[in-house]
Structure 1
Amino acid sequence: MRFLILFLLALTAIPAFSQAPTVPGSVTATASSGTAVTVTWTASTGGAGITYRIFRNNNQVGSDQSATTFSDSGLTPGQTYTYNVSASNSSGTSAQSADATVTTPNTPGTPTGLRAVAGTNGVVLNWNTVSGATEYVIFRNGTELDTSTTNTFIDSDVEVATTYRYSVASSNTSGDSSKSAEVAVTTKGDGSQREAVWTRAFEAVDGDFDGIVDFNEYLSGHASTNIPEVVMLHRFRSSDDDDSGDLTVDEYIAHFGGKTVKRPSKAQIFTLADVFSDIGDGDGYLDIYEFALTLNRGTQNAVIQKKFDKLDKNDSGFLSEAEFGIRYGDTEGAPEITSSLIATAEPNAAFSYQILASKDPDSYNATGLPSGLTIDTTTGLITGSVATIGSYSVTISATDATGTDTATLVIKIGLPSINSAATASGSTTAAFSYQITSTNSPTGYNATNLPAGVTVNTTTGLISGTPTASGTFNVLLTATNAAGAGTKTLVLTVTPAPPSINSSLTATGKVATTFSYSIAATNSPTSYSATGLPSGLNIATSTGIISGTPTVAGTFNVTIGATNAGGSDSETLVLTIAP
C-alpha cells in the first residue's frame, strides 16, 4: 500500500516538471525615437530555461532571448507597429501575448547641403531647410555646440589657423534626426590676429561702405603715412589680384594693406608716375606734377619746386629718366620689367598687352602664351584673341646687352562680370529671392553679409529665404569661373514687420495731477504719435510716452500711433480725466 501511494504521488508531480511557460504579460511598446521602439513585458512562469520570442506585425524580429526587454531599431518615422511576445522552454511554447501597438514619432529628415565658410567673424554654416524641423542642432568635432531655429549659424568661438568638423541634425517635438555628413573648414590666420586688425582697417578705409576699396579710399585711408603716392599705387595694384581696380576685404587682408609688397625700384616709380597715375601722360618724362607724386605726401610746394629745379639740368621743365636718377650701364644690370603683371580680356575679343621695361631693351619674349596670342619680339607687344575662358601664366622677358629680366604675367580671359541689379529690397514678413547673373558662364557663386534667414545656393546663384533681421546690408556677391572671380556689392534693404500696438487702450488721470502713459508696440517702432490729447498732456514722439498735468476733466478718444520702416499701426485710447 505504501508503494502504491508513492507511485501515485510521483505521477501527480510529473506535470510540474514538464509544464510549458505561461504567456508573457503586461507587454508594452514605447517609441524612443522616430526609428526605434523599446518593448517590455513581465516574466513567464513554468520552470527554468525560459526564452522569449518577439514578433513585430506577426513576424519575428531579433533572436530568442532570456531578457524581458527588447530594443527594435531601423523603423520608419510616423508608422504604426504591433508587437507581441511568446515564451518557450524545453517543454513547449506559450501562445503569443496580447498585442501592444505603438506609432513612431514623425521626426524630421537629416539635413543636406551643409556648407562651411571661414569668414572674418568666424565660421558661417548654411544647410538646406528640412520640412517639419523646428530647430537644428549643430555639432562641432562630434560634440553638440549650439542650436539654431534657422538654416544658418555662425560659430564665432573659433581659433585662427584651426581645422573644425561640423555636422547638423534637425529636430522637432518628436525627436532629432541623424547627423548630416560632416564638412571640414580651416579658419584663416596665423595666430597673430592680423586678419582682425586689417579687417577693421579695411572697414575704416571703405568710406562709402560698399564693401570694396578704390584707390582714392585706399590713399585717404592711410593719410597718416607719408609714403609717396606712386608707392601707394604700387602697393594697391600689387594687392588687386583680379585687376578690377578695387580691393575686396580678402585682397586687403591677404596683402595686409600692402605691407608685404616690395618697395618699387626707381625705374618702377618713374613708370608709375608717368604712365599709371591719374595725371600721367606716358610721354617718357616727368612734369612737376608727376614728379610730386614720387615724393613723400605732404611735401610743401616750395620744396617740390626746389627739388625739381635741381634735377632739371637743362631747364626743360621736364625730367628724363637720367635726370630722375635712373642710371643705365653695364654696372646697373639687366632691364627691369615695369608693366602690370595682370591683364584681362573677353573671350574672342581683341587682346593687347605692352611689355614695359627700363633701359630700352633690344628684344622681348613671352613663353606659355595661350592659343591665339603672339608677341612681337622687337616691340614687346602681345596681341591676338583667346577663345577659351581661363587663367594663363605667361613668362615675359626683356633683354639688352647687359642681361635679361623675367616676370610672370597672368592673363585672365573671360572673368565673370556680375550684371544683376545692385539694389534689392525685402521684408521680414515675406520670402526673399534674388538671382545673381553674370557674364562668362560662372561655375560657382557666393554672397557674404546676408541677413539672417537668407542663404545663397553656391551652384545656381539664387539667394533666397525669409529675412529674420531688418536693416541695410552691403552684400558682397561673387561669381567664379576658370578665369577667376568677379565681385559686385548688392545693397539689400530689409524692412521689418509693421508695429502692432499692444498697450492698454484705456487710461485714467486727474486734473492737476501728474499723468504718464507709455505706448507699447511690437517690432521696435521708430516713432510714435498721439492726437486728441487733453490740454496739459504731450507725447514724446521718440519714446511714445504721454505725460504732463491735465487741466480739464472729461473722456477723450485719443488716436495713438506707432511707426517703423515697415509701416504703422493706430488705435483709440480712451482717456478719462477726473475733476
Structure 2
Amino acid sequence: MRFLILFLLALTAIPAFSQGPTVPSNVQATATSGSAVTVTWTASTGTGAITYRVFRNGTQTGTDVSATTFSDTGLTPGTTYSYTVSALNTDGASSQSVAATVTTPNTPGTPTGLRATRGTDQVSLQWNSVSGAIEYVIFRNGTEIDTSTTTTYIDTDIEPATTYRYSVASTNASGDSAKSAEVAVTTKGDGSKREAVWTREFERADGDFDGIVDFDEYLVAFPNKLPEIVMIHRFNSSDDDESGDLTVDEYIAHFAGKTVKRPSKAQAFTLADEFSSIGDADGYLDIYEYALTLNRGTKEAQLTKKFNKADKNDSGFLSPVEFGIRNGRGEEATEITSPLTASGTPGEAFEYEIIATKEPTSYGAVGLPPGLTIDTTTGVISGTPTTVGSYSVTISATDGMGTDTATLTIRIGVPSITSTTIASGSTTASFSYQIIATQTPTAYGAANLPAGLSVNTTTGLISGTPTTAGTSNVVLTATNAAGTGSKVLVLTITAPPSITSALTKSGTTNVAFSYQITATPAATSYTASPLPAGLTFSTTTGLISGTPTVAAVTNVTITATNTGGTDTETLVITISAP
C-alpha cells in the first residue's frame, strides 16, 4: 500500500503538458472591393502565444498575424477564392480550417486622365471613359458631391478665389472603383464677396421685385443641377428668422447659401419626407419624394432605375435603411459623413479628419498605421506613416445621444506607375517595355495586351513579338501590400506595308507617264531606282511621273516603308517609240 501511495503522489507532481492550438473556427471571407477580401475567424485555444496563417487556394498568402482578421489585397475582380486558416504556437500548427469561399465583385477600373478647367462660377471636369462603368461618382475635397453618367461634370456649387480638390470613381452593379488621382483647381475672382455684388445677385433673384426671395425664386436664381433637397437645405440655413423668405440681409449674410455644407443622408431623407412641398412625413420616400434627392433634370428612366434598385422589397417605398441610413436611424445621434478611404506615402505627412453630423464631443480610431495618431477632441488623424500596407481602421464619433462607427481604409504606399504612357512596336520585331513604379511593388499586371505579348508579373517586363497590328489601351498595374496602382499605356503596333500596285507599266516616248506605288497598310515613304530617262519620283507620295525620252525596258526597284518595316518589289517599265 505504501508503494501505491508513493506512485500516486509522483503522478500528481508531473507538470501539465503544453498543448498545440485548436483549429480556427467560423472562418468567413468577405469581398471589400474587386481586388480585396477580408478574412475573419474565431480565436483558437492553446498554451502560449498563438498566431495564425492564412491560405488562399491552398497556398499561404501574406505573413502570419496575431489578430483574428486578415486583409488580402491585389486580387482579380470577378474571381472566386477559397480561404483556410491554421493556428500556430510553440508546440506546432493546427490543421487548416474549413474553407470559406468568396467571389470578388467585377468592379470597374479607376478613372484616369482627370482634368479640371476653372471659372468664376463653375469648374468643368473631364476624364477618360472606363470600360464596364455605368456611372461615375464625383468627389470634392474628399466628399461625394454628385454622380454623372458621362465623362464630364460641371460643378457650380463653388466660391470665387477658392482652391478645390477633385477626384472621380467609377461604379457598376458590382460596386465602386478606387478614387482617381486628385486634381486641384483654384477658381477665378477676388473672393471678396462684397456686399454690393450680393445685393445685385439678390435683386436678380427677386423675380417679382417685392423685396424678398421665396424658395421658387431661389431655385430659378441658381439654375444648377443640385438636388432640390440640397437647395432646400441651403435656403433653410440662410433663413435666419424662419419666415420662409430671404431678405437681402439674410441673402448677403449667407452668400446665397454657398457656405452651407451638403446635407447628410439622414438630413436628406428628412428634408424629402417632411420639409419638401410634397413630403408626407410618413417615414418613407415614394418615388416623387426620392426624385428630390437626385439632380434636378434627372431623366424619368434613370430615376425609375435608381428607385427600383434601392427598393429591395419591391414595396414602392424606400425605408431609411434602403435609402442608405445605417440601421434606419434618423438624426437622433451623430453620423460619420467623411469619406471612408484615404491614402498616404511612407515618410510624408498625412492628415485625415473624421467629419460627422451634429457636434460630436469625442472621436476615436483603432488600428491606425504605425506613425499615425488621433486627436480625440478634433477627430484629426495625423502624423508621418512609416510602413507600407492597407489598414482597416475603426473610427468613431460620439455625442450625447450615442456613438457612430465606420471602417476607414487607409492605404500607405500604394504604387504609382511612372513609366511612359505611350509606346509603339512592329509585328516584325521583338518588343520590350518595363513597368516602372514607386513603393517597391511585389507584383505587376498588364491587361488587354496585343497578341504575342506577355507580362512578367514578378519583374513588370512586357515582352514578345506582337502578331497583330493596331492600337491597344493596356491597363498597367503595380501591387504591393498597400494596394494596386494603375495607368493606361497606349500601345501602337504597326505591320510592314505590302506593295499592292501592278508590277508592270508601259509608256511611250514624248508622252506623259504616271505610275502610283500603293501599299497596305499605308506607307510613310517610298523609293524607286533606277528610273527611265525623263521620269522623276516623289519619296513622300510614291508617284513616278514625267515624259520618257528614250525607248527601253527598265527594271525599277521600288520600296514602301512605315514604322513596321519595308517591302521591296521589282517594277518593269517598258517605254516604246511611237
User: Normalising to structure 2: TM-score of the pair?
Assistant: 0.45
User: Normalising to structure 1: TM-score of the pair?
Assistant: 0.45
**Which is higher, the Rg of structure 1 or of structure 2?**
1
